[in-house]
Structure 1
Amino acid sequence: MAEATSSTRYRVEGMDCPSCATRITSAVRRVPGVKDVSVSVTAGTMTVRHGPDAGIGEAVMRQVGTLGGYSATPLAPRAVPVAEVHDHHGCCGHDHDHHGHGHAKHSHARHDHARGGEAGLHGHLHDHGPVSGPWWRSPRGLLTIGCGLALGAAYLLGKVVPELAGWAFTAAMLVGLVPIARRAFVSAQLGAPFSIEMLMVIAATGATIIGATEEAAAVVLLFLIGELLEGVAAGRARASIQALAKLVPATALLERNGRTEEVPAATLPVGATILIRPGDRIAADGEILEGESAIDEAPVTGESTPKRKSVGDAVFAGTVNGDGVLRLRVTAAAEDNTIARVVRLVEEAQESKAPTERFIDRFSRYYTPAVLLVAALVAVLPPLLGGGAWGEWIYKGLAILLIGCPCALVISTPAAIAAGLSAGARRGLLMKGGAVLEGMGSIDVIALDKTGTLTEGRPVVTDLLAAEGDARGLLSRAAALEAGSSHPLALAILARARADGVSVPPAREASAQGGKGVTGRVGGESLFLGSPAAAASRVALPAIWQDRIEALNGEGKSVSVLLADGRLSGIIAMRDEPREDAKAGLAALKAMGVQPLMLTGDNRRTAEAIGATLGLPVRAELLPEDKQRIVREMQGQGRHVAKVGDGINDAPALAAADIGIAMGGGTDVALETADAAVLHGRVLDLSRMVALSRRTMGNIRQNIAIALGLKAVFLVTTILGITGLWPAILADTGATVLVTANAMRLLAAKL
């Protein structure tokens, strides 16, 4: 009979890079009774699958503590999920119905969707602790600055008192090398003696042994700078995921015993009745018992236009109520509402994503031991077997050790990565570390959200069809009715009127007709602007105009009908249009062998219309978990998938993808959950990011060839007695200069 297993989740403090996760994973797996370990650097969590032994929890926490700089505390177990009362698929797939919005009183000022935000950088900051504030105040920044100041002081002291130069440079080297050596020792204890830290220890120690103390100190400083360039804000991603829950308000208005009282939203039980005022964020997943309102679901589904909902419809936590008062029946507890599920999906996706092992770490498993072995054999075998002079061959062995010193090799990859990251950042292409930059070049599928990614994220007027008069008159009267409204479609009409220089006369007796449209008097005429269905209930629409409305709806456009004194005056069509460079950007991706695909929570008709315009396949009416599932399915087919999005609803798929990319002014959560960000919001920048990745990887291959090629040449010449210590020093230093100069070419690369 199989042994029963349990899972325990821990909050891990002090973990801020993939190397930290690897170290913790290796350590915890050695605890007796532990079956498996999954660690999320971004979420700062660890899930441990273990046997029934009650003492395993204490053992796990002790093991994490012995690593130095880390601590683990168990998280409270999640409650058993409440059975879903509503159908999530009901939140998508409806036509855009905007006609129940109000006017001046209907302000969206409280609808504060997080925008912008800084994209943090995943780095290899191993000095543990919270990372906040400017980089120069972080432990890694202070260490790098201290090492640089020590090297500068050593150089000056060497000029003033030359006989102390060697000691001064050795002291400067130790400032940076001691922390590196400590990490190398921990890695060795965990069974990985030839880590990148060990490479640096060997490089610096070898250079010091042969008297190249200045080079040893410089190499340590260069290593610290390279590590620092890879990332200075890893903790921001962790904070942003925890901030997801802030979308749900802290309190709710609970109806109980005939009274309404404010209670913590986290305490709302399933079946409770709550009151939602206009402009409020909804505090729980629920079903409308009374009332009608436009609900902004952009945080959950990415739908660009608020949806009109009434009795019996499902609403979701974190969405925003529009213009009506609602009474809801709570259908999911706080720990299982929509936002909580998104948080859970993000954390699980992060935990299942194994850390990318850097090339130098992998190569060093064989390279460094081989160099040490060759140097020892060269120093010992000729005197023992051939009667050679011990002094001569030990000298050659030291020269080979210096030739094998991985200074150029260690710098080659971080230098190219740092240059590539800098080149991208200058163009608004942010990538969170070398693993992301490397991975971008290998993607073959890119899944893009629609709203705010392929499109501008706001509707615009596309068609003005006047049944009487001209288009300017139609637009003028419609804008008069919409004046003062903050609804997205009303704003589109007002924006078009401003752009066309159309005058907007004052409207009298303007009022919203819930779920139907808006009425008012302009210039003595009685006007109505609303949905085709509402207009048809007031006046019979000619068949030719019904056909035009149907054709516009087929193009994914929302249509408003203007009636004047009971006559059809014209129709206005609006749609969230593709970005100007969307078609060119998708064509560039296809030319690079990357297949684009649209994944959107928007309704199918609108999505397919945009997809047909841009020439790409579409999957529509998707919830966050649907997008994540599709990404997983493509990965299961062996595809390397990038996911592009700009909203919270994209966060789980962004985390699950091989590369997650936040688009433009996306939410903080999208930017922080993603591995990369396109700050200018250009679709063409996605192809530029792929091109930069491929160029950087080519540069890295060149650097490795330079570093290893020079070593191979001088290895032969040293054994033959043609070159000695000083040429070996020059070879290693020269290789370092060459690979750095080659890497810097990326800064001027044209994409």
Structure 2
Amino acid sequence: MAQPASIENSTLSTTSATPNSALRRKWFIRGMDCAGCAAKVEKALNKVEGIYQTKIAFATERLFVAVESEQQIKTIEQTVKGLGFRLEATSKIQEEPLWKAHSTFVLIASVTLCTTIASLLAPDWKATALHVATAIGTLPFIRKALTQARNGTLFSIELLMVIASLGAMALGENTEAILVLLLFSAGEMLEGFAGRKARAGIQSLMKLTPDTATRIESGVRVPNVPADFLQPGDLIEVRPGDRMPVDATLQFTPGSFDESALTGESIPVSRQKGEKIMAGSLVVEQPVRLTVVSEPGENAIDRIIQLIENADERRAPITRLIDTFSSWYTPLVMAIAILVAVAPPLLFGASWDVWVYKALALLLIACPCALVISIPAAVTSALASASRFGALIKGGAALEQLRTVKQLAFDKTGTLTVGRPVVTAITSLYMEEKELLTLAASLEQGSSHPLAKAIIDAARKHNLDIPDADKVTILNGQGLTGLVNGKTVKILAPRHVQPERLAQNNVQQTIADRESEGNTVVVVTDDSKVLGLIAMADTLRDDAVETITQLKAMGISCVMLTGDNRRAAAAIAAKLGIDYKAELLPEDKVKAIEKMQEAAQKQGPEHAVAMVGDGINDAPALKAAELGIAMGRGSDVALETADAALTHERLPELATMIQLSRDTATIIRQNIALALGINTLFLFTTLFGLTGLMAAVLSDSGGALLVTINALRLMHLRKTQ
């Protein structure tokens, strides 16, 4: 089967080079669930005459074509439809309504409600109503069990549910029969909810690149050119406040770009002529012209999406314990029940009634109501408990995986730090610090630059009166200048200040000291000298040190992965006492996670690696790790990609969440031991004639009650920690 990478990166021409007269179209293909589907469509379209170029980007479900005429457009639509897929012009995905997406739960809940109402209105019909409800409720499970049987899984969890519900109904436990179905379908709905939201994350990523761009043709601006059809070598213009539609190299003049969507670093960076700017970057300060370097469907945002898709395919699904157990438990018990029913009468002439009765009791005992309930009850209690302290865990698989975490990788900006720069130090040479801050804030008023906001916030914090500056001018790639109270003031990056000025008053050494501490420094000057320095940095969260200390006490090692520069990363890591890797792009973070996982695997399966992050640039790493944990106010993509989220953004709850997972594993083991112990006890007592159907019913109901009560303990464990 073709892999996503080969499809994502391929461009196939069916005839010759694409002429300028070709019609270019883009669709979104819906219904593809694997790379093989994309390969099937690609192969079929390559056989259509009149198509110059076909390209499928599987990760984003996009189809690009260049064709000879409108006739080929119709042929393409018919060909794709004939393969069982559909084409849509918009990227917006039509979500199924909740009732349809969770039809099994809705069906069982509806018949249970109707049965309850009918039983209250006509008590004499209660048994009949429950029989009908159970019969209807088992239909989806019967259908799934048959489908899985045809695919080679004869004894699935769906078969266990059918046996449990029908067995209880056959012996008159009608209420229990329908409640088991309802509880299990509710658990399935909760565990599958995250899957419905996965596509929303992809949509959020795709919104980072505009649909159209302004192309420069023979010196003339051509607006609204479809970004998906920009080719390498095209010259484009992007204005301030707009995002880069493609990867491109900067032409003519320097520019300032906010690359936080890709690097996570909140402070914009200056780029010089010839430097590559990635798609999704926000242009700051002045218009820029760039030369396109990325192929359609292959820009930086597309690569992030592809990394997410590839990481998802590499992750093996966690097999639920009860599924593994049922693969041998259910057929074994059914075989024993049949043997008990027929062997004594055939071999020893025993009474058929007696031994069929014992077999029926044995089968009821073996119906794993308590076993089936034991895990969902514990998982549901744990998920509810987690939500009470601000942790969203997306299903039982993620909850189970948390207990095995032995290494945590943290993003820096917005995760370990507050995510925005603040003024950390002011060095004034010829005036009071507040006066220097007032001059800088006057120039920065009205700017949306994060450093400008930090300066203005600092001035407001000190209740300073900020005068209006006149003739404020942006110095391309350097800083800005203006008049404050008739005096010329400039705010510049250190590298754009004349060296002889920096040599005075030990300014150069002060800048080096501040930068070594992880600060970004700006220089405030007048026409003749340096007036002072303002240092700014992203600061640690108040609870970051406490969190690292708790995790270390639990035997969990920590490392920081960041796109920030090495000086800033080293300063933060030193305060926390952890290792770090700096200047990482999204793909670099994935590689770092993979190396950590390779090392962890050598220590055994109980050494999982988790990633904690908040930005779009963290999404591939969150997906690549065994477990991804997002901060609650992070990007939509990170939240949708992650397996868990800290909705209240309290870092210490990481340790609480991991401890809850460990406690849940203990409760589940206890529940399984209870369920199997009770079943085993009554199996022997039934075979020796000591108990009958009534005891079988009691063992089944009692076991279910015990495991449920034990699972509810998880709701209170948080209080005792």
Q: CA deviation at 1:152?
A: 1.2
What SS is found at the alignment partner of 1:247?
A: coil
2:123 aligned with 1:160, yes or no? yes
Does 178-187 or 694-703 show the bigger shift?
Answer: 694-703
Q: CA deviation at 1:689?
A: 1.7
Q: CA deviation at 1:540?
A: 4.5
**Contact 2:586/2:618 (<8 A) preserved:** yes
2:320 aligned with 1:332, yes or no? no
2:561 maps to: 599
What SS is found at the alignment partner of 2:202?
A: helix
Q: CA deviation at 1:569?
A: 3.2
1:522 and 1:56 mapped to 2: Cα distance? 63
Q: How does 1:146-185 map to 2 (within 5 A)?
A: 146-153=110-117, 155-156=119-120, 160-161=123-124, 164-185=125-146
Does 383-392 or 370-379 show the bigger shift?
Answer: 383-392
Which residue, 203, 207, 226 being the options, matches 2:168? 207
**Contact 1:10/1:46 (<8 A) preserved:** no
1:382 maps to: 344
1:305 maps to: 267
**Contact 2:2/2:35 (<8 A) preserved:** no
In structure 2, the CA distance between the partners of 1:342 and 1:324, relative to structure 1 (3 Å rule), is: same
1:483 and 1:56 mapped to 2: Cα distance? 54
In structure 2, the CA distance between the partners of 1:402 and 1:590, relative to structure 1 (3 Å rule), is: same
Q: CA deviation at 1:135?
A: 6.3
Q: Return the letter of the residue paired with 2:457.
A: A
Q: CA deviation at 1:539?
A: 3.0
Q: Which has the higher contact order (CA 8 A, sep 6+)?
A: 1
Q: Residues 248-282 of structure 1, C-alpha deviation per residue, up to 9 Å, x if partnerless? A: 11111111133221210111111111111111111
Q: Return the letter of the residue paired with 1:246.
A: K
Q: Return the letter of the residue paired with 2:135.
A: L
1:142 maps to: 106
Q: CA deviation at 1:478?
A: 2.1
What SS is found at the alignment partner of 1:444?
A: strand
1:647 maps to: 615
* RMSD of aligned residue pairs (Cα, Å): 2.8
2:186 maps to: 225
Gaps of 5+ in 1: 12-41, 59-74, 80-128
1:47 maps to: 35
In structure 2, the CA distance between the partners of 1:144 and 1:426, relative to structure 1 (3 Å rule), is: farther
2:624 aligned with 1:656, yes or no? yes
Gaps of 5+ in 2: 8-29, 45-53, 59-92, 602-606
Which residue, 651, 660, 671 being the options, matches 1:692? 660
1:49 and 1:172 mapped to 2: Cα distance? 39
Q: Return the letter of the residue paired with 2:633.
A: G
Q: CA deviation at 1:537?
A: 4.9
2:411 maps to: 449
Q: How does 1:316-465 map to 2 (within 5 A)?
A: 316-465=278-427
2:135 and 2:560 mapped to 1: Cα distance? 53
1:448 and 1:212 mapped to 2: Cα distance? 51
1:732 maps to: 700
2:685 aligned with 1:717, yes or no? yes
Q: Residues 548-593 of structure 1, C-alpha deviation per residue, up to 9 Å, x if partnerless? A: 2211110110112223563443321110111111111111111111
What SS is found at the alignment partner of 2:501?
A: coil
2:484 maps to: 522
**Contact 1:43/1:237 (<8 A) preserved:** no
**Contact 2:108/2:181 (<8 A) preserved:** no
Normalised by the length of structure 2, the TM-score is 0.84
2:522 and 2:201 mapped to 1: Cα distance? 39
Q: CA deviation at 1:77?
A: 4.0
2:191 and 2:582 mapped to 1: Cα distance? 37
Does 466-475 or 680-689 show the bigger shift?
Answer: 466-475
2:540 and 2:448 mapped to 1: Cα distance? 22
In structure 2, the CA distance between the partners of 1:325 and 1:446, relative to structure 1 (3 Å rule), is: same
Q: Return the letter of the residue paired with 1:643.
A: M
Q: Residues 461-495 of structure 1, C-alpha deviation per residue, up to 9 Å, x if partnerless? A: 11123324433333222222222211101111111
2:249 aligned with 1:287, yes or no? yes
2:635 maps to: 667
Normalised by the length of structure 1, the TM-score is 0.81
What SS is found at the alignment partner of 1:580?
A: coil
Q: Return the letter of the residue paired with 1:314.
A: K
**Contact 2:632/2:649 (<8 A) preserved:** yes
Q: CA deviation at 1:523?
A: 4.0
What SS is found at the alignment partner of 2:185?
A: helix
1:511 and 1:261 mapped to 2: Cα distance? 28
How many residue pairs end up in the alignment? 647
1:131 and 1:219 mapped to 2: Cα distance? 29
1:673 and 1:220 mapped to 2: Cα distance? 30
1:195 maps to: 156
1:587 maps to: 549
Q: CA deviation at 1:720?
A: 2.8
In structure 2, the CA distance between the partners of 1:714 and 1:48, relative to structure 1 (3 Å rule), is: same
In structure 2, the CA distance between the partners of 1:256 and 1:136, relative to structure 1 (3 Å rule), is: closer
Q: CA deviation at 1:300?
A: 1.3
